[in-house]
C-alpha cells in the first residue's frame, strides 16, 4: 500500500512538472467532405425526425401555375420577375398604407435576386424558399423624380430584366425613353414611393439611386413571407409578359 502511494506521488510529481516546450512543426490539410465519406448513423438518425417534419412543410402546395415561370423568358422583363414585383406590391401596399396613409407607386427588385424558376404545375413552399432563400425585408424608399430618372438610366444601361411592377410603362427608343407611372408621365419635382428590399436599398447590386432616399419606410416583412402569403391567397397564378417595358428596337 505504502509502495503504491509512493508511486502515485512520484507519478503526480512527474506529470505536474512540465518541461518547457517549443513549437517545432506545423502541418495543414483540408479535406473535402464528399461522397466517398461514410455517414455517421447516429447523426442521420438524429436528423431524421427534423427532416421528416421539414419535408412535409416543404411539400405543402400553396398555389398553381399553368406555365413555367423563369427570369429569362423576356429581354427586359420576365414572367417570374413580373410576378415577383407585382405580388410583393400587392402584399406590401396595405401595410404601407397603414403606416403612412400613402400608397406605393411601383416596385423594383433585381434580376439576380430571383434565385430559382418555378416549373409549370403545383407551387409549393419549397419553390418559395428556392425563389427567395435570403431573409431580405421589404422597404419603401421615397425617391425624388430625379432619382427615379437615375433608376431608369440604370435599368437601360444594365440591360437586364430587373423586375418592375405593372404600374410602370417604360418605352425605350434607342437612348430615349418615355416613362409613365400609373399612366402619368414622370415628374422630376414629385416624389415616388418605391418598394424594394433592404438589400437593394443598402446599395446591393449597385442600385445606388436607392441610397439616401427622402424617407425610408421599413415594413418589417420578409420578401419570402410576402411571396408565401401571396401564393396562399392565389389559387392560380396569372402571369404574362406585358407592356411594362417595351423596346422599340
Partner 1 sequence: MKRRNFTKQLGGAAVLTASGLTLPAFKKKSQRQITILHTNDTHSHIEPFEATHFRYANQGGVAKRATLIEQVRKENPYTLLLDAGDIFQGTPYFNYFGGELEFRLMSMLKYDVATIGNHDFDNSIDGLYKQLPHAKFDFVSANYDFSNTVLDTHVKPYKTLIKNDIKIGIFGLGIELEGLVGKKMYKETKYLDPIEMTQEMTQKLKQTEKCDLIICLSHLGYHYKDNANKISDLNLAKATKDIDLIIGGHTHTFLPKPTLVKNLDNKNVLVNQVGAYGVNLGRVDFYFDEMNNNEANGTSILI
Tell me phi and psi for residue 23, to 5 degrees: -75, 120
> In which region does residue 225 sit, left (phi positive, over 0), alpha (psi from -120 to 50) or beta (all else)?
alpha
Cβ–Cβ under 8 Å, residues 109 and 84: yes
Cβ–Cβ under 8 Å, residues 214 and 201: no
Of 77, 202, 68, nearest to 134 (Cα)? 202
**Mask for 120-159, x = binds partner 1 (CB under 8 A):** ---------x---x-x-x----------------------
Pairing label, strands 215-222, 137-144: antiparallel
> Concatenated DSSP letters for 169-234?
EEEEETTEEEEEETTEE--TTSEEEEEEEHHHHTTGGG-GGGSS-SEEEEEEEEHHHHHHHHHHH-
State yes or no: residue 19 binds partner 1 (CB under 8 A): yes
Among 3, 4, 14, 33, binds partner 1 (CB under 8 A): 33
State yes or no: residue 30 binds partner 1 (CB under 8 A): yes
For partner 1, the closer CB: 39 or 249: 39
Among 1, 4, 13, 26, binds partner 1 (CB under 8 A): 26
State yes or no: residue 44 binds partner 1 (CB under 8 A): yes
Nearest-approach distance from CB 15 to partner 1, in angstroms: 8
Residues with Cβ < 8 Å from 241, sequence gap 6 or more? 73, 74, 77, 78, 79, 82
Stretch that binds partner 1, among 14-22, 73-81, 106-114, 165-173 (CB under 8 A): 14-22
State yes or no: residue 1 binds partner 1 (CB under 8 A): no
State yes or no: residue 198 binds partner 1 (CB under 8 A): yes
State yes or no: residue 11 binds partner 1 (CB under 8 A): no
Nearest-approach distance from CB 90 to partner 1, in angstroms: 22
Residues found near partner 1 in the complex (CB under 8 A): 18-35, 37-44, 46-47, 50-51, 53-54, 57-58, 129, 133, 135, 137, 198, 202
Amino acid at each position: 500500500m505504502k509502495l503504491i502511494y509512493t508511486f502515485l506521488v512520484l507519478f503526480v510529481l512527474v506529470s505536474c512538472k512540465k518541461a518547457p516546450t517549443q513549437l517545432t512543426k506545423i502541418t495543414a490539410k483540408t479535406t473535402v467532405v464528399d461522397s466517398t465519406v461514410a455517414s455517421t448513423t447516429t447523426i442521420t438518425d438524429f436528423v431524421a425526425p427534423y427532416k421528416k417534419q421539414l419535408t412535409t412543410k416543404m411539400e405543402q402546395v400553396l398555389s398553381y401555375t399553368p406555365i413555367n415561370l423563369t427570369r429569362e423568358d423576356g429581354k427586359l422583363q420576365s414572367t417570374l420577375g413580373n410576378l415577383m414585383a407585382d405580388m410583393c406590391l400587392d402584399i406590401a401596399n396595405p401595410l404601407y398604407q397603414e403606416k403612412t396613409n400613402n400608397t406605393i407607386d411601383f416596385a423594383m427588385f433585381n434580376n439576380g435576386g430571383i434565385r430559382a424558376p418555378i416549373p409549370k404545375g403545383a407551387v409549393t413552399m419549397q419553390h418559395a424558399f428556392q425563389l427567395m432563400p435570403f431573409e431580405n425585408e421589404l422597404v419603401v424608399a421615397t425617391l425624388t423624380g430625379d432619382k427615379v430618372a437615375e433608376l431608369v438610366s440604370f435599368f437601360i444601361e444594365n440591360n437586364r430584366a430587373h423586375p418592375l411592377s405593372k404600374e410602370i410603362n417604360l418605352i425605350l427608343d434607342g437612348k430615349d425613353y418615355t416613362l409613365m407611372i400609373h399612366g402619368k408621365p414622370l415628374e422630376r419635382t414629385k416624389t415616388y414611393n418605391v418598394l424594394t428590399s433592404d438589400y437593394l436599398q443598402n446599395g446591393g447590386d449597385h442600385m445606388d439611386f436607392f441610397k439616401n432616399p427622402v424617407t425610408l419606410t421599413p415594413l418589417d416583412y420578409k420578401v419570402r413571407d410576402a411571396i408565401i402569403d401571396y401564393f396562399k391567397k392565389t389559387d392560380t397564378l396569372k402571369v404574362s409578359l406585358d407592356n411594362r417595358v417595351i423596346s422599340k428596337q
